[in-house]
Every structure is written in structure tokens, then in C-alpha cells.
């Protein structure tokens, strides 16, 4: 929602914001910002702990809707339940969504009242247009890609422009684009877009779309375009049915509870909570589809090269020499002669064989370790029997350094590449450069 900042006492202190003429006192979790700025925000209520479920359900016999300020950033909220998954209460000025709200015995249309001990405001995540290529699903059929965008749109991870941009891209690439995709691109309003996405995704693979979207959530969180709380709530909503394994929803639900408890106790840092969220997102996005012992040497090297890219780009360390190293290990997936490929790697400026990295990369010890682990995946398997545990160990080290969320952006053809009896697997046909190079 859009809000105008009236005043603030500083980050994590009290601020006054104006939402469509309604002034709210909130905890400032959106600074830096200047008075008068228009902000895209999300509101997060912390509910009082001393209210029973019956008090909430019986506290609004007049079916009022609104927020009545008690003091500071605390409120008495009156509203009508308009959704159960997650529980969402329409309080007239705003809609409050909170999974900790006990809706036992209630349903849509139930009038409720409850106390908000603290109302926080955070910046709403925005999907930048420059992030379009990275977020678009790789190697999905049209129906599954439509399901992916439908889910993301309904969770407010993608806006209308983002979804239509995807549809227009398909139209521009095809001589005869599918009618359902044209309907998406030309949808006149949000409801029409919902309907068009739903129709286009009727035969989509829901499981694949959801795992890809979890990977997208991980990338947005890693880039600080999503808060940890928003990321986990989106993941919970995404997993709140039987299309993914129950463990995914349970894991996200537990972390959401930990975040809620940590608001009171403050035992864990924000960075610690974020790291745990990224680990779970990466695990449930793609990890089950990449059993380490089943990962070929070619695929593991490709993924390791992506780890090097992700780390170096995140830390602004990418150089032509490092790019050449990544290109070399990405090319292993389609190399016909592995021995010739290995000899070429010895001629690179960066070989990954323990030599010091050239300036300015020599000031990044973690990068040096990452490069060496990436190189060792193939080096340890060149002239002996295949040792899958060794490959898995070096790949795990790469992911530990670069971040497991890297797995969320690995094409299915790489993840599904199997080692066969010798560990390397067959070479894959060469693909256009944009897929195998940097995003």
C-alpha cells in the first residue's frame, strides 16, 4: 500500500504515516526516508498475548471496521475476516494479515476485535524491471510458466507490469504466439489478468512452479528486496496445501513462529534469521531435486561456476579473468573431449589450483577458496575412479560460501543431468550463450 511519511523519530522508533487520509502511528522499519516521501509499505501487527480466542470472536458484536489508537503504536482493531489462508481481517482503512491470529471456530464474514500491541511498517518489496531476466522461469513450458506468474502475482511478488512483460516477451519470440499468452498481455485489469493466468496455467506443473517461485523468493530476500518476515510468509502461503511435501510448510511455519518470538525476546540477530530463511528456501526450492550423490561431475562443475558468479557479482569482484574461469567450467556440460577441456583450463589466468588470485581478487580469501573448490570437483575425478562423495563435498563447500539460494536459478536440464556409470554423464547439446553465461 502507498503511504506518505508525515514524521519519524528514526529507525525502529515511532513514525506517523498517512494512508489515504488515515493517519497511523507505527514503528519505523522503512527508514531512511524523508518527511513527505511516498512509500510502498507493508504493515505488520504484533498481537497482544493476553487475549483469548473467545474474546476476539465476541468482541465486535456491532461488526465495526476500523483501528482505534490506544497509545503510541498500539491499537484496538475491529474488522471482518475476509480470508482464512492466511487469516486476513478487513479493518476498513487497511487489511491485516497475521498467521498468529487464532481463527478457530470462525470463518469468512466473522466479525472480530483484537489488540495490536505494536504496528510496524516496512517497505514493500519491489520487483525491479532489471531483475526480469533473472526471475523468469528457465526451461518451463508455457502452462507451467503461467502458473509460476499466477502464483507470484497473487502473492504480490510480481506486479501487473512484470507479468505482462513476460507475456510480451513470448509474443515477440514466436511467429504464432498462443492465444492464452496474448490474453495475458492484453488483460484490461487485475481481474482479467487473474483469469487469463488461471486459464493459461490449467495444464501447468504446480510442483515445479512452486519450487521455482521459492527460488525466486530466496533471490529477492538475498538481494534485500524482500524482508525475512515477508519472504517466510509468502513461502508459507505457497506451501499451504498438498502440492509440496508437508515438511516445507512445517519448516516455514516454525521459522515464522521463531521470528514472532524473536520480536519479544530478541535472542537472534536479523542476519541470523535471514540466513536461516535462505537455507530453508534453498532447500525446499531445489535441494530435493539435486541428490548430491546423483549429481554428475559436469553438472556439479556448472553449478559451482554459478556459485563463483553469484559470489563475485554480489561482492562486485567480477573481472574478465574470473569470467573466463566461469565460462570454462560452464562449458564442461557440453564438452565432447574432457581431457582436451581440462588441458585448456591449465592455460587460464585463474586455474583454481591453489595459485594466488590476481589483484584485486587477491584481497578476497573466501573467493579463493570458492574457486579452488569449484576446480577440485573435476580435478579430483580426472584420472581415477569416480568418487561421488568427493564431488558432493566440494559442491557443498561452494554452496556454503556462495549461498544455497543459487540452486533456485539452476536450469532443470542441469539439475537432471545424471552421472551414469563413470560419474561424468553424457555431454549435453550446446545452448545459446545467454543461458550458460552470466545473468
- The pLDDT of residue 209 is 84
Measured torsion, CA atoms of residues 419, 422, 428, 430, in degrees rounded to the nearest 10: 130
Cα 372 from Cα 355, distance rounded (Å):
9
pTM over 0.75: no
Could you give the C-alpha distances from 412 to 53, 289, 303, 408, in angstroms and in order? 46, 9, 12, 10
Could you give the CA distance from residue 429 to residue 414 in angstroms, rounded to a whole number? 12
Per-residue confidence (pLDDT) for residue 30, from 0 to 100: 86
Summarize pLDDT for 12-52 with one digit per residue, the tens: 899 999 987 889 999 988 888 888 888 888 888 888 877 78
pLDDT at position 345 is 92
How long, in residues, is the chain? 439
**Residue 105: what pLDDT?**
53
List, for the chain, all residue ranges whose pLDDT scores fall below the cut of 70.
83-86, 93, 97-106, 124-140, 241-246, 286-294, 404-405, 408, 431-439
Amino acid at each position: 500500500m502507498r503511504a506518505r511519511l508525515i514524521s519519524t523519530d528514526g529507525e525502529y522508533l515511532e513514525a506517523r504515516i498517512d494512508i489515504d487520509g488515515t493517519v497511523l502511528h507505527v514503528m519505523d522499519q522503512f527508514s531512511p526516508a524523508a518527511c513527505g516521501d511516498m512509500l510502498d509499505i507493508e504493515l505488520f501487527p504484533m498481537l497482544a498475548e493476553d487475549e483469548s480466542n473467545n474474546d476476539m470472536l465476541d468482541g465486535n458484536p456491532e461488526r465495526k471496521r476500523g483501528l482505534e489508537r490506544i497509545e503510541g503504536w498500539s491499537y484496538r482493531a475491529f474488522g471482518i475476516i475476509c480470508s482464512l489462508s492466511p487469516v486476513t481481517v478487513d479493518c476498513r482503512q487497511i487489511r491485516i494479515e497475521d498467521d498468529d491470529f487464532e481463527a478457530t471456530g470462525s470463518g469468512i464474514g466473522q466479525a472480530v476485535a483484537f489488540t495490536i500491541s505494536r504496528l510496524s511498517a516496512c517497505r514493500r518489496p519491489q520487483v525491479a524491471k532489471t531483475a526480469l531476466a533473472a526471475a523468469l522461469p528457465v526451461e518451463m513450458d508455457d502452462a507451467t510458466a503461467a502458473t509460476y506468474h499466477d502464483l507470484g502475482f497473487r502473492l504480490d511478488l510480481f506486479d501487473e507490469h512484470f507479468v505482462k512483460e513476460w507475456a510480451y516477451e513470448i509474443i515477440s519470440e514466436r511467429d504464432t504466439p498462443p492465444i492464452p499468452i496474448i490474453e495475458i498481455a492484453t488483460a484490461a485489469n487485475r481481474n482479467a489478468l487473474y483469469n487469463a493466468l488461471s486459464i493459461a496455467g490449467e495444464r501447468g506443473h504446480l510442483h515445479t512452479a512452486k519450487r521455482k517461485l521459492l527460488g525466486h523468493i530466496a533471490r529477492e530476500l538475498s538481494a534485500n528486496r524482500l524482508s525475512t518476515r515477508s519472504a517466510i510468509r509468502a513461502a508459507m502461503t505457497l506451501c499451504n496445501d498438498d502440492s509440496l511435501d508437508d515438511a516445507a510448510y512445517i519448516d516455514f511455519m516454525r521459522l515464522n513462529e521463531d521470528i514472532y518470538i524473536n520480536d519479544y525476546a530478541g535472542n537472534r540477530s536479523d542476519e541470523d534469521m535471514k540466513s536461516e530463511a535462505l537455507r530453508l528456501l534453498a532447500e525446499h526450492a531445489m535441494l530435493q531435486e539435486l541428490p548430491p550423490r546423483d549429481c554428475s561431475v559436469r553438472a556439479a562443475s556448472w553449478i559451482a561456476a554459478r556459485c563463483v558468479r553469484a559470489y563475485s557479482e554480489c561482492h562486485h569482484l567480477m573481472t574478465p579473468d574470473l569470467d573466463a574461469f566461469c565460462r570454462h567450467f560452464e562449458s564442461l556440460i557440453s564438452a565432447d573431449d574432457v581431457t582436451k577441456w581440462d588441458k585448456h583450463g591449465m592455460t587460464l589466468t585463474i586455474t583454481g589450483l591453489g595459485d594466488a588470485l590476481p589483484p584485486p581478487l587477491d584481497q578476497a580469501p573466501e573467493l579463493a577458496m570458492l574457486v579452488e573448490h569449484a576446480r577440485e570437483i573435476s580435478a579430483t575425478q580426472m584420472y581415477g575412479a569416480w568418487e561421488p562423495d568427493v564431488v558432493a563435498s566440494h559442491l557443498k563447500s561452494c554452496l556454503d560460501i556462495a549461498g544455497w539460494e543459487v540452486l533456485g536459478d539452476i536450469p532443470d536440464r542441469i539439475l537432471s543431468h545424471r552421472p551414469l556409470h563413470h560419474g561424468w554423464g553424457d555431454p549435453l547439446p550446446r545452448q545459446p550463450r545467454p543461458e550458460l553465461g552470466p545473468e
